[in-house]
Structure 1
Amino acid sequence: MRVLVTGHLGYLGSEMVPVLQARGHDVVGLDTDFFRHCDFQAAPVTLPALFADIRDVTATDLEKLDVDAVIHLAALSNDPLSDLDPQLTHDINLDASLRLAAATKKAGVRRFLFSSSCSLYGRGGDEELDENAEFKPVTPYGESKVRVEQYLSTIADDTFSPVYLRNATAYGVSRRLRADIVVNNLVAHAATSGKVLLESDGTPWRPLVHVLDIADAFAAALEAPTEAIHDQAFNVGTTGENYQVRDIADIVADVVPECAVGFGMNASPDIRDYKVDFSKIRRILPAYQPRWTVRHGVEQLWGAYREGGMTTEMFAGPAYVRLREIQRLRSAGAVGTDLRWGTA
């Protein structure tokens, strides 16, 4: 297929594009490229792309790109960044996604894969939640995922087939590394300080999935028969990969030599607490073959941080923490308060 990937230069997109290309797809990108100065070890793969704000994309743009499917990843990518300005999260993650979906349908593009999140389960407790579980989002980011899914379902029909891929919390090495997600963060602390630093009390549950396994799930959904996935949600992750944060810390301490587990000064309970069931995606999409475990991912990260020379200064800087880089761009006048280039 010819596939448009929005957010193709982000943490997930920069790893998904090569996976799709390796499976024979013709990929074009769409990204505003906030994180152009944030490469880790290697730059994202170069490909034909529309460099634009997702808020400005029209049906005419999509018609010119002549794609068969849209994979929509572009968003303010985590809770701290979306908390920077909840209205921006509403504008970019919600309103722009709704307009993109409507434009996709108007342009006659049938397949639309939406990068949703298990964070929409919010306060889930100890029960493993399947795709029919109640939504309990506790952040603007989680709420935006709920509302986009709900809208997409209302416009699904014979001409437009959306799919909702609810990713578990991602981890793993990427060309556009993020150190502000839990596994990557804990390993970076260990690599640079000799301590695994917990910012919560360690009790919350998190489902975890490697960035390459997410890419594999999107590829499997892209290639699946429409009737198997039309207007359906899939939790993206692996059975057995739900962890309490303190268990992740113990794995990191076991992998990184001479490393101790400690708690940050403001460590407190985290209201985001959920376990997830991943049986549906393995049943409906047998082409999805996850290969990673958290331990394997920690070992990968530890090796990459050593090879890449990760230092305390690098870890404390803006390059690998999305909120810090956005704040840097704002302070430099590169983007305005509306996060548009050159509107300061």
Structure 2
Amino acid sequence: MTVLVTGGAGYIGSHTVQALAAAGESVVVIDNLSTGFSAFLPGNVPLVIGDAGDDDLVEGVIAKHRVDGIIHFAGSVVVPDSMRDPLAYYRNNTMTTRSLLNVAVKCGVKRFIFSSTAAVYGNPDQVPVPEHAPTRPLSPYGSSKLMTEIMLHDVASAHGMNYVVLRYFNVAGADPQARIGLATVGATHLLKIAVEAATGQRAKIDVFGTDYPTPDGSCIRDFIHVSDLAEAHRAALSYLTAGGRSVTLNCGYGRGTSVLETIEAVRRVARRNFAVQYAPRRPGDIMTMVADTSRIRATLDWAPRYDDLDTIAAHALAWEKKLFQARGGPAQQAESA
């Protein structure tokens, strides 16, 4: 049997497909390549170019490849963009998943893993934040993901489906062998922007908000290496295959790092200074977000391998150098981060 990975040519999706293929899983990918890259997929993994919300396309793929599980990555992920164009996020995230779940039910797919986000919590009452914390998203991005979680819960209850919801904290880094990484032009990930500055592709990096009630005034995040997150998806699939019940899990390390500390880590690893510009707070940003990881460690056969900020930064930097050299272009003008 086969697992269908939607958005499998994207940043997190491609790392997960690599991990699944290495573990001997049969995989098929649906991706419209709007932010993904076919070259990031193993040569033996079929790629169907199309939309995860296309019922006929998905139904055909499920039937042809005998799909019995779905890992759903496809969607939009930029918080500021969701503030500017909320309807696009409800279409790309919530409505697409509604269509995908409809086909999954029709075809009898009983295992579903969903790519969610810590943004569903909003500004949490306690840190580290547990999975049972109140959900009060501050952006349409977070709201669109929370709506999908609710929909998935109801569909699973009605149709005998088991699922794992993985709430990502801040995903960063790249494949340790620099085979794949974050290559989307205009990506807003902090580590990505910092390594672009460290490689001379940006003249500066903007820090939004330095007056938060945190030790250095900047936001605090829980970074998780993308390869560790990929292994969490592989472990979630094994959990469901073994008969595991539906569960929601935080994906992080349980340790907070400020924006300014993260920038210093990139400077340290790159051995290069770059300009930082301070800007006002940005709507939709969360002050402090650190995961309580006790549930994922107790539930899945998963242990992180790259739980070190300098290691994450080093892998991101190695990938960025390779990517920049491959593009062979001049340094770009700085953009807002």
Instruction: Check whether TM > 0.5.
Output: yes
Q: 1:200 aligns with which of 209, 222, 227?
A: 209
Listed one character per residue, the Cα deviations across residues 293-339 of structure 1 (whole Å, up to 9, x for unaligned) are 22101112223333443688565599xx9x9xxxxxxxxxxxxxxxx
Summarize the Cα distance change of 1:316–1:23 in structure 2 as closer, same or farther, 3 Å threshold: farther
Moved more, 122-131 or 144-153: 122-131
Q: Does the C-alpha gap of structure 1 residues 69 and 197 become closer, same or farther in structure 2, counting only changes over 3 Å?
A: same
Q: Shift of the alpha carbon at 1:13?
A: 1.3
Alignment check: 8 A CA contact 2:197 2:274 kept: no
Q: State the SS of the aligned residue for 2:221.
A: strand
Quote the residue 1:341 is aligned against: none
- Equivalence for 1:118: 118
Question: Contact 1:281–1:288 (CA<8 Å) still a contact in 2?
Answer: no
TM-score by length of structure 1 reads 0.82
Among 173, 180, 184, the residue aligned to 2:188: 180
RMSD across aligned positions (CA): 2.8
Instruction: Answer yes or no: is the 8 Å Cα contact 2:111–2:240 preserved in 1.
Output: no
Which secondary structure does the structure 2 equivalent of 1:156 belong to? helix
Deviation at 1:208, TM superposition (A): 1.3
Superimposed CA distance per residue, residues 53-75 of structure 1 (whole angstroms, 9 cap, x where no aligned partner): 22212463333332110000000
Name the counterpart of 1:326.
none
Structure 2 counterpart of 1:198, one-letter code:
V
Residue 46 of structure 2 corresponds to 48
In the TM superposition, 1:1-344 aligns within 5 A as 1-35=1-35, 43-46=40-43, 47-58=45-56, 60-61=59-60, 62-124=62-124, 127-157=127-157, 159-173=160-174, 174-178=180-184, 179-192=187-200, 197-201=206-210, 203-225=218-240, 229-240=244-255, 242-260=256-274, 262-264=276-278, 266-268=279-281, 271-273=285-287, 274-309=289-324, 313=330
SS of 1:82 mapped into structure 2: helix
Amino acid at match of 2:59: T
- Shift in Å at residue 119 of structure 1? 1.3
Give how far 1:228 is off. 6.8
- Any stretches of 5+ residues in structure 2 without a counterpart? 175-179, 211-216
> How many angstroms apart in 1 are the aligned matches of 2:81 and 2:30?
20
For 2:168, the aligned partner's letter is N
Contact 1:198–1:261, Cα closer than 8 Å, also in 2 = no
Larger CA deviation: 94-103 vs 177-186: 177-186
**3-state SS of the aligned residue for 1:224?**
helix
Q: Cα distance 1:289–1:124, how it changes in 2: closer, same or farther (>3 A)?
A: same
Q: d(CA) in 2 for partners of 1:307 and 1:267?
A: 33
> In 2 relative to 1, CA 220–70 (structure 1 residues): closer, same or farther, beyond 3 Å?
same
Once the two structures are overlaid, the 10-residue window that deviates more, 82-91 or 54-63, is 54-63
8 Å contact kept, 2:222–2:254: no
Q: Quick one: distance in 2 between partners of 1:138 and 1:229?
A: 32
- The separation in 2 between residues aligned to 1:13 and 1:102, in whole angstroms, is 22
- Range that drifts further, 266-275 or 62-71: 266-275
Bigger mean CA offset, 215-224 vs 269-278? 269-278
Matches of 1:80 and 1:45, distance apart in 2: 33
**How many residue pairs align between the two structures?**
315
Distance change in 2, residues 1:73/1:108 (3 Å): same
Any unmatched runs of 5+ in structure 1? 324-344
TM-score, normalised via structure 2 length? 0.83
Question: For residues 186 and 207 of structure 1, what CA distance do their matches in structure 2 show?
Answer: 16
CA–CA distance in 1 between the matches of 2:13 and 2:87?
24
Instruction: State the shift of 1:16 in Å.
Output: 1.3
Q: Which moved more, 1:26-35 or 1:307-316?
A: 307-316
Shift of 1:103: 1.5
Task: Look up the equivalent residue of 2:116 and give its one-letter code.
Answer: S
8 Å CA contact 2:254–2:290 kept in 1: the answer is no
What is the rounded CA distance, in whole Å, between the counterparts of 1:195 and 1:317 in structure 2?
6
3-state SS of the aligned residue for 2:41? coil
For residues 163 and 142 of structure 2, the distance between their equivalents in structure 1, rounded to whole angstroms, comes to 19
Q: Deviations over 1:190-210 (max 9, x none)?
A: 321575542332521212111
